[in-house]
């Protein structure tokens, strides 16, 4: 994968930063997109807000001018929201979807001509929260579920162009996500151990290299999702009411 040109949004911290470091270590050229300057070395950094159309066009123009191609687009930038549907602020809800979904779809469309030319890969960072319902995180779950449906339908539409779509669903990753989230609720402690973003980044690299269409990380989250959805939803619902203090 040496010399592959990769574009990563939300590169200044968390998962985006870890993926950028990992790909550079594997010899890729990394273009980082963020509003604040990252503290890592990149081949190109573009200061931009991906929710703004003019910024998205400028990103594509600068990348095309510098490298002439794109082999991997990583739609990573996103944010969280902790609130019940009744509590949440409508402006925050719209802001959440603007970044987590609409910007993802729009930036992908901006880069599609380059990705078709290279027969490249689009990697959308969704979430395990897009596969199960979580009280007080319903808006976030909905935004990430939208990313999952976008990924799965886009994959079929781009098959004839040999462009791959990789849906990445992180579970418990230690990135400080909660501290940067919107909303009036404080999330409870989650069971189990959180994985580091570096481990996720390496799993992501292997999934990209092997041409996979989906990655759930940590792997045990596959079991957790299957259990919640198909085996013990009643237990999960009861537990959720308790930990989020939603019981009468």
pLDDT at residue 189 greater than cutoff 80: no
Note the pLDDT tens digit of each residue in 113-130: 999 999 999 999 999 999
* Nearest C-alpha neighbor of 204 from the set 194, 214, 190, 189: 214
Mean pLDDT score across all residues of the chain: 94
Per DSSP (E only), the strands in 116-245 are 121-125, 164-170, 214-217
pLDDT at residue 179 greater than cutoff 80: no
State whether the Cα torsion 139-140-143-145 is positive or negative: negative
User: How high is the pLDDT of residue 5?
Assistant: 98
Note the pLDDT tens digit of each residue in 37-79: 999 999 999 999 999 999 999 999 999 999 999 999 999 999 9
Domains parsed from the chain with CATH numbers:
5-243 (3.40.50.720)
**Span 1-11, average pLDDT:** 95
Contact 125, 168 (CB under 8 A): yes
Q: How far apart are CA 69 and CA 60, in angstroms?
A: 10
Query: Which tokens go with 177?
Result: 């996500």
Element (H, E) at 243: helix 233-243
pLDDT at residue 139 greater than cutoff 90: yes
**Span 210-214, average pLDDT:** 98
Buried b (16+ CB within 10 A) or exposed e, 114-125: bbeebebbbbbb
pTM, two decimal places:
0.93
Residues found in the chain: 248
User: How high is the pLDDT of residue 100?
Assistant: 98
The single-letter DSSP state of residue 183 is S
Which ranges constitute the DSSP H helices of 178-232?
197-209, 220-226
Indicate the pairing of strand 72-75 with strand 5-9.
parallel
Q: How confident is the model at residue 216 (pLDDT cuts 50, 70, 90)?
A: very high
């Amino acid at each position: 994968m040496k010399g592959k040109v990769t574009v990563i949004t939300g590169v200044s911290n968390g998962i985006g930063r870890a993926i950028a470091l990992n790909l550079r270590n594997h010899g890729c050229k990394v273009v980082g997109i963020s509003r604040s300057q990252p503290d890592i070395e990149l081949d190109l950094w573009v200061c931009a807000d991906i929710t703004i159309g003019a910024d998205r066009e400028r990103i594509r123009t600068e990348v095309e001018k510098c490298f002439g191609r794109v082999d991997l687009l990583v739609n990573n930038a996103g944010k969280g929201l902790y609130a019940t549907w009744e509590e949440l602020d409508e402006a925050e809800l719209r802001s959440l979807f603007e970044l987590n979904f609409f910007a993802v779809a729009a930036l992908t469309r901006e880069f599609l001509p380059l990705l078709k030319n290279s027969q490249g890969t689009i990697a959308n960072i969704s979430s395990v929260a897009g596969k199960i319902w979580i009280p007080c995180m319903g808006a976030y779950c909905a935004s990430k579920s939208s990313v999952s449906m976008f990924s799965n339908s886009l994959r079929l539409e781009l098959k004839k162009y040999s462009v791959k779509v990789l849906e990445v669903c992180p579970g418990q990753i230690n990135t400080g996500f909660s501290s940067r989230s919107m909303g009036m609720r404080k999330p409870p402690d989650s069971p189990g151990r959180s994985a580091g973003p570096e481990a996720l980044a390496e799993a992501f690299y292997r999934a990209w290299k092997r041409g996979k269409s989906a990655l759930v990380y940590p792997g045990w989250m596959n079991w957790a999702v299957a259990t919640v959805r198909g085996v013990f939803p009643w237990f999960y619902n009861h537990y959720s009411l308790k930990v989020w203090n939603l019981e009468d």
